[in-house]
Structure 1
Amino acid sequence: MSPVPSTATPTAPSRWLPAYLGLVVAVALTVGVMSWFALPRPELGPIVLLCLMGVVAYQIREPEAGLRIAFSFLSIILVASAAVVGIFGAWLVGGVSMLVDRQRPGRIVTVFNAAMSAVVGAAAALSYRLLGGVQGAGLSGMSTYDLGRHVGIPLLAADVVACLLNAILLSGVLHLARGISFAVQLRRVLSGSGVAYVGYGVIGLLFVVLWFPAGLGAFSALLVLAPLLAARWAFIQYGEELRSHERTVDTLVTALGTKEPAAVARSRRVANLGEWIAEELGLPPGQIGTVRYAATLHEIGHLGVPTRLLRRPRASLSPAEQRLIDGQCVVGARMIEGIDFLESARSGIRHQCERFDGSGRPDGLAGHDIPVAARIVAVAAGVDDALRDQPEEADVSMDHAFGVLRSDPGRFDPEVVEAAVAALDKHGWPASAPVEVPS
């Protein structure tokens, strides 16, 4: 289950956001009331146990593992609830589990997360029931064939429904709250948690089989706790690895800042714009991360350029001095050689000075032979260079952005230019104050 993060972003929320939040909460309340009055009510004991497990699973979640969302293993509890306590029970488990949050994200975020989780739990239980899934005590004494037909298949299908609905609801609220492309966010969630959801479904199925056919009842909760904690440990290691990558990049940018302080803000702005462009182009999450790393470190080669040249206006540089500065792309790519997680970003740094018409440096690549990360970094850095030269009180207009991107025919990939224009139109671009790179 992926809750809505509460960190602030530079884009203003859509005016439709309150309506969306209200709609999800209203749907959750309606589903709860209807399932309470229209369906048989499950036993209190299993509901209490599952609610407690859900609360614990949500509280020990590992947040912000590189996708700007947090994952918990509440999905295992919700999937199991579909077969153990039915629609109302799964609705209640989902809602109660997210009402308590040690991170205190704010009342609105907490209420929405609880409503979203309740809807996801009820939808999973409803799909389980519609596909012939058997609930509660009816699971006892089943043959292997019946377990597969009336428990296994419906429960795994319910797991898929929960995964898709969670991704859709989460992508919708982030699109309205932060301006992130719905399709891009949907791919991020599904690519980041889709495979994990398969494991959730299998563990949830094991939980149900141990509870009823194996006759262990509530004791089965202890038996599923071990793989749950093992999976959490693995996820923590993955999250820590990603955070170590971010710390490495931050260290490199800080080192650049000791020589050229203004480069730190430039790196952050170009990284942010580069990521927006990559999203507009519909690149997969892995490539978006590559673009962000390449954009953040696009000037790291300045560490090999004499400081006196970096501080002089470009117009005053001799041809030889200009070539030395332009060579920073190759120097930068060499500097990060051997850092495994930055290997895919090296080409984006090395080839950012290539021209789309093939007359650029260092290798004279043309068109789509230029790596997409390099084409994006070139456009993002070009826009930042032009907008940074404007007076601080001036508003950044789309007309000006168009002029910057088209002022040098043959320099930029036209498709990337259009994506940059769309990104600027959607997110805006501050003429001053650095934009923080999301992590």
Structure 2
Amino acid sequence: MTTTAMASAQSRWLPYYLALVVTTSLTVGVSSWFLLPRPSFGPLVLLCIMGLVSYQIREPELGLRISFSFLSIILVASAAIVGMFGAWLVGALSMLVDREQPRRSVTMFNAAMCSLLGASSALTYALLGGVEGDAMVGMGPVRLASDVGWPLLAADIAACLVNAALLSGVISLDKRVPFWVQMRQVLTGSGVAYVGYGVIGLLFVILWFPAGLGAFSALLVLAPLLAARWAFIQFGEELRSHERTVDTLVTALGTKEPAAVGRSRRAAALAEWVAEGLGLPPGQIGTVRYAATLHEIGHLGVATRLLRRAPSSLSPAERRVIDGHSVVGARMIEGIDFLEDARSGIRHQHERFDGSGRPDGRAGQDIPIAARIVAVTSAIDEVVHASDAGAGAGAGVTVADVARALSADPGRFDPDVVAAAIAALDRHGLPTSAPAEAAT
């Protein structure tokens, strides 16, 4: 089956998956309403309002796949405060009001997913003997830990796993990323955060019932979370500033070598796919993306006349000048703090896995992972686009052709990175030229 046919076959399952998640959520909600005790009206209304507010004031675009929302804290606390139906309803209502999302199917999936997170938390809490509501009043520390603390933290872990599974399912079908690769990535990116959510959710519950503060505990919990949100917004602005800096560097390169802009964009996209396939954490994926985007920035220090010549017409001395662009590029971004980790990926992109490369003769795992990925992605772009020589460059090239080209020089590339790159091409297709390759 071809890559295109495979992608089509996979994407056809996505509507069925969405329908299954929504149907499951509705079944859980209706069943819990009729079969389980009804939650107290006052706490339920307050938690629903908190859920709505927390989702509406989220800060989802911080870069490097980092987002901030304290809805998960409210869902975990709801498991102990209002039970299964209450936690289900808090999750469902929190996501249904989303004016920024034009696609109703996405809103319905998000609402169903969050309702199932709340329900799974409450179910886990109940199965482990968690005490609900006013029954916590007057508990001593030991019983509080055994009957509330441990079950609630376990409920938090259950919600984390359900969240990862549901998200990985939809992304796997929509983007053709392998389920377990995406699952690992979600857990790596959000697993630690969920531990914090569970601890804060437990504090919320303790303040509400054993401490006797009731609804006032919401204010005590929300105030520091709003302060944390402000800090995350500042962090997001910093990340967006980083992106603007990188864009400026690529634009500067484009004024000298217009085709390099397209190569940078293709390299960044492919390198990100490969990093995801290798299961790298979000921060490291960002480093790989920066290194791939700027892997040719050293061309700014190379004479334009050399860059415009065909490689076969260069003398050995001229070839060495061009080959030295990786060291020049690493020096050019020295002192830019957020690119410090990416510098090694740029400097060592021409090392060989067998140790016979340049500039330092590093071998195997001693070569930074960003450099190993950039080496493979830049080689793929050369095969597919033939160094941008002509409008028909890359026509007729297949993934099998790319695989043969990468294996033609044993010892040059990291075999694990090559395997991840071929898998990424099978999922996403060959990198193509973007219309905006020329500098503006």
Alignment TM-score, normalising by the size of structure 2: 0.91
Q: Give, in angstroms, the shift of residue 415 of structure 1.
A: 3.0
Moved beyond 6 Å, runs of 4+: 10-13
Seen in structure 2, the aligned counterparts of structure 1 residues 249 and 258 have a Cα distance that, compared at 3 Å, is same
Q: Give, in angstroms, the shift of residue 179 of structure 1.
A: 2.0
Q: Is residue 217 of structure 2 the alignment partner of residue 216 of structure 1?
A: no
Between the aligned partners of 1:96 and 1:246, the Cα distance in structure 2 is 34
Structure 2: runs of 5+ lacking an equivalent: 1-6
Q: Is residue 179 of structure 2 the alignment partner of residue 178 of structure 1?
A: no
Is the CA contact (8 Å cut-off) linking 2:288 and 2:345 kept in structure 1?
A: yes
* Partner of residue 407, structure 2: 406
CA offsets 1:362-410 (integer angstroms, 9 cap, x no match)? 1223333322221211111011012112825824312221232133343
Higher mean displacement: 26-35 or 225-234: 225-234
CA offsets 1:59-90 (integer angstroms, 9 cap, x no match)? 01111222446431101111111111100000
Is the CA contact (8 Å cut-off) linking 2:372 and 2:413 kept in structure 1?
A: yes
Correspondences of 1:111-130 after superposition (within 5 Å): 111-130=108-127
Q: Is residue 282 of structure 2 the alignment partner of residue 282 of structure 1?
A: no
* Partner of residue 272, structure 1: 269
Amino acid across the alignment from 1:219: F
CA offsets 1:225-252 (integer angstroms, 9 cap, x no match)? 2122122123223323322222222221
* Partner of residue 303, structure 2: 306
Between the aligned partners of 1:367 and 1:284, the Cα distance in structure 2 is 21
> How many residues of Structure 1 are paired with residues of Structure 2 in the alignment?
427
- The correspondence for 2:33, drawn from 32, 36, 54, is 36
Seen in structure 2, the aligned counterparts of structure 1 residues 141 and 380 have a Cα distance that, compared at 3 Å, is same
Q: Give, in angstroms, the shift of residue 336 of structure 1.
A: 1.3
Is the CA contact (8 Å cut-off) linking 1:90 and 1:118 kept in structure 2?
A: yes
Q: Is residue 232 of structure 2 the alignment partner of residue 235 of structure 1?
A: yes
Between the aligned partners of 1:413 and 1:145, the Cα distance in structure 2 is 53
Is the CA contact (8 Å cut-off) linking 1:336 and 1:342 kept in structure 2?
A: yes
- The correspondence for 1:247, drawn from 224, 236, 244, is 244
* Partner of residue 101, structure 1: 98
* Partner of residue 3, structure 1: none
Is the CA contact (8 Å cut-off) linking 1:392 and 1:431 kept in structure 2?
A: no
Between the aligned partners of 2:339 and 2:222, the Cα distance in structure 1 is 36
- The correspondence for 1:22, drawn from 15, 19, 23, is 19
Between the aligned partners of 1:254 and 1:334, the Cα distance in structure 2 is 18
CA RMSD between the two structures: 2.2
Between the aligned partners of 1:435 and 1:153, the Cα distance in structure 2 is 55
* Partner of residue 4, structure 2: none
Seen in structure 2, the aligned counterparts of structure 1 residues 199 and 408 have a Cα distance that, compared at 3 Å, is closer
CA offsets 1:65-120 (integer angstroms, 9 cap, x no match)? 22446431101111111111100000000000000113224101100000000001
* Partner of residue 191, structure 2: 194
Three-state SS of the structure 2 residue aligned to 1:98 is helix
Q: Give, in angstroms, the shift of residue 420 of structure 1.
A: 1.8
* Partner of residue 433, structure 1: 434
Between the aligned partners of 1:415 and 1:97, the Cα distance in structure 2 is 42
Percent sequence identity over aligned pairs: 73
Q: Give, in angstroms, the shift of residue 122 of structure 1.
A: 0.4
Q: Is residue 81 of structure 2 the alignment partner of residue 80 of structure 1?
A: no
Between the aligned partners of 1:131 and 1:403, the Cα distance in structure 2 is 55
Three-state SS of the structure 2 residue aligned to 1:268 is helix
Higher mean displacement: 132-141 or 261-270: 132-141
* Partner of residue 55, structure 1: 52
Amino acid across the alignment from 2:381: D
Amino acid across the alignment from 1:355: R
Is the CA contact (8 Å cut-off) linking 1:67 and 1:188 kept in structure 2?
A: no
CA offsets 1:205-244 (integer angstroms, 9 cap, x no match)? 2222222222222222222221221221232233233222
Q: Give, in angstroms, the shift of residue 282 of structure 1.
A: 3.0
